[in-house]
Amino acid sequence: IRLVKKMVSAATIAVFLLCCYFSASSGSQDDCVYAATGSSFTVPLKHELKESANLRWFKDRTIIFYRRGKYVITGKNDYVDSTGSLKLTRLTKDMSGRYIPEVTNADGLNVGHLPSVRLCVLDPVKKPKVTMTCIEAQKNVSFSCNIGQDDTIEWLMNAKRLAEKGKTVMRVAKDVANSHFSCNVSNIISSEISLPVQQNCYKPGKYYVLSSAQIFKCTFFQMEISTGRNDFLCC
């Protein structure tokens, strides 16, 4: 009876320690190592692996690779490199998770706790596009940048950074008559910049011919046309 109790107690402790190991390894997203979808990533095995050792790799709590000595039981031999590090290729978002190594010697004894890696796979940002809209009788101009939900935006005017961080920038059209606006969109793994866009709401080269009898407030030049009348060119 005492022997049975000892066996039950040992099994209970083993299960408890295993649960604690995975719980301690779960971590938070703050310790993520980021990679882009479609890229490759190698999870390092920070242990000098002997030929007779047994190697397991877990993704969260699922065994994805198990090699006993030279024989692969789970997964494929090319899942790991010569050092035992795990090779991940053609990454997709569902490959995000914590990758945990476990090494035991030929006698089945664990070599100890080995560092794990929490991998977070993200899509690279798409090239943004700036759209321009004239508002308030073309006195003002609005520039909008299309970005993803979790992307960060930075506005540029004539290649110089602006203070605005929102999706839209508004200016008095006349004040930015010859300026070019673009947006730089980024996330933690990539960035893209849009093509520059120029406003067409205000056109400083647009002239209006007014007769000398009209009263107006602007800079004018007197010009004589073929009819012999004196008109004024207002800009």
User: Helix or strand or coil: residue 41?
Assistant: strand
Instruction: Report pLDDT for 207.
Output: 44
**Domains of the chain as residue ranges with CATH:** 25-122 (2.60.40.10), 130-198 (2.60.40.10), 205-235 (no CATH)
Give the torsion through C-alpha atoms of 23, 25, 26, 27, to 10 deg: 110
- State yes or no: pLDDT of 197 exceeds 50: yes
- State yes or no: pLDDT of 16 exceeds 90: no
Q: Residue 11: how many CB atoms within 10 A of its CB?
A: 10
List all residues 6 or more positions away from 209 whose beta carbon is below 8 Å from its beta carbon: 231, 232, 233, 234
User: Helix or strand or coil: residue 51?
Assistant: coil
User: Helix or strand or coil: residue 182?
Assistant: strand
- State yes or no: pLDDT of 10 exceeds 70: no
Q: What is the pTM of this model?
A: 0.67
Instruction: Give the chain's mean pLDDT.
Output: 82
For residues 41-51, average pLDDT: 95
Instruction: Report pLDDT for 150.
Output: 82
Measured between alpha carbons, how far is 101 from 115 in angstroms, rounded to an integer? 7
Q: Nearest Cα to 43, choosing from 98, 106, 107, 103?
A: 98
Radius of gyration of the chain (CA): 34
List alpha helices for the chain, DSSP H. Answer: 2-26
